[in-house]
Amino acid sequence: MTAPPLGLGLVGCGSFGAYVLDAVAGLPGLRIAAVADPDASRARPLGARHGATVCDGLGSLLATDGVDVVALATPPATHARMAIGALRAGKHVFCEKPLATTTEDAARVRDEVNRSPGTLAVDHVLRYNPLLRALQRLTAEGLLDPPRRFLFENDASDEDLGPGHWFWDPAHSGGIFIEHGVHFFDAARALLGSEPESVSATAVQRPGGPVDMVIADAVHPGGVLATHLHSFTHAHRCERQLMRLDHGFAESRITGWIPTYAAVIAWTDEEGAARWEEIPSRTAELLAVPGFRPHGGERVAVTVHRGAGGTRPARGRGVARSVPHRAEAVIDLGGEARKPHVYAESVRAAVADLLHCAADGSTPVAGAHAGLTAVAAAEAATRAAATGTGQSVSVPARAQPSS
Q: Coil, strand, or helix at residue 328? A: strand
Q: Which of 249, 244, 195, 253 is nearest to 224 (CA)?
A: 195
Average pLDDT over residues 268-287: 98
> For residue 398, what pLDDT is reported?
59
Q: Which residues pair with 261 in a beta bridge?
A: 255, 332
Confidence of residue 212 (pLDDT cuts 50, 70, 90): very high
pLDDT at 100: 97
pLDDT in tens, 360-402: 999 999 999 999 999 999 999 999 999 888 789 999 865 555 4
Query: pLDDT confidence of 155, banded at 50, 70, 90?
Result: very high
Q: What's the chain's average pLDDT? A: 95
Size (the chain), residues = 403
Cα–Cα distance list, 25 to 42, 257, 305, 348, 351 (Å): 18, 24, 46, 9, 11
H-helix or E-strand spanning residue 185:
helix 182-192
pLDDT computed for residue 3 by the predictor = 82
Residue 174 reports pLDDT greater than 90: no
Query: Mind listing the pLDDT tens digit for each residue in 175-192?
Result: 999 999 999 999 999 999
Over residues 314-334, the pLDDT tens digits come to: 998 888 999 999 999 999 999
Q: How far apart are alpha carbons 179 and 101 in whole angstroms?
A: 8
Question: What does the CA dihedral 47, 51, 56, 58 come to, rounded to 10 degrees?
Answer: -110
What's the pLDDT tens digit per position in 115-150?
999 999 999 999 999 999 999 999 999 999 999 999
Amino acid 403: pLDDT: 43
Q: 149: closest CA among 202, 203, 199, 222?
A: 222
Could you report the per-residue pLDDT of 107-118, keeping only the tens digit for each?
999 999 999 999
What was the pLDDT predicted at 400?
Answer: 54
Average pLDDT estimate for 298-324: 93
250 pLDDT above the threshold of 80? yes
Q: Would you list the DSSP string of 8-54?
A: EEEE--SHHHHHHHHHHTT-TTEEEEEEE-S-HHHHHHHHHHHT-EE
Query: Phi first, then psi: what are they for 186, rounded to 5°?
Result: -70, -40
- CA 357, distance to chain mean position in Å, is 18
Query: Stretch 296-310: mean pLDDT, rounded?
Result: 96
Separation between Cα atoms, residue 343 and residue 336, nearest integer Å: 11
Q: Is the pLDDT of residue 48 over 90?
A: yes
> Tell me, what's the pLDDT at 135?
98
CB atoms within 10 A of CB 225: 17
Looking only at the bridges linking them, the beta strands covering 53-55 and 198-205 are unpaired
pLDDT of residue 1: 63
Average pLDDT value for residue range 41-58: 97
- For 148, half-sphere exposure in the C-beta direction (CA atoms, 13 angstrom radius) is 10
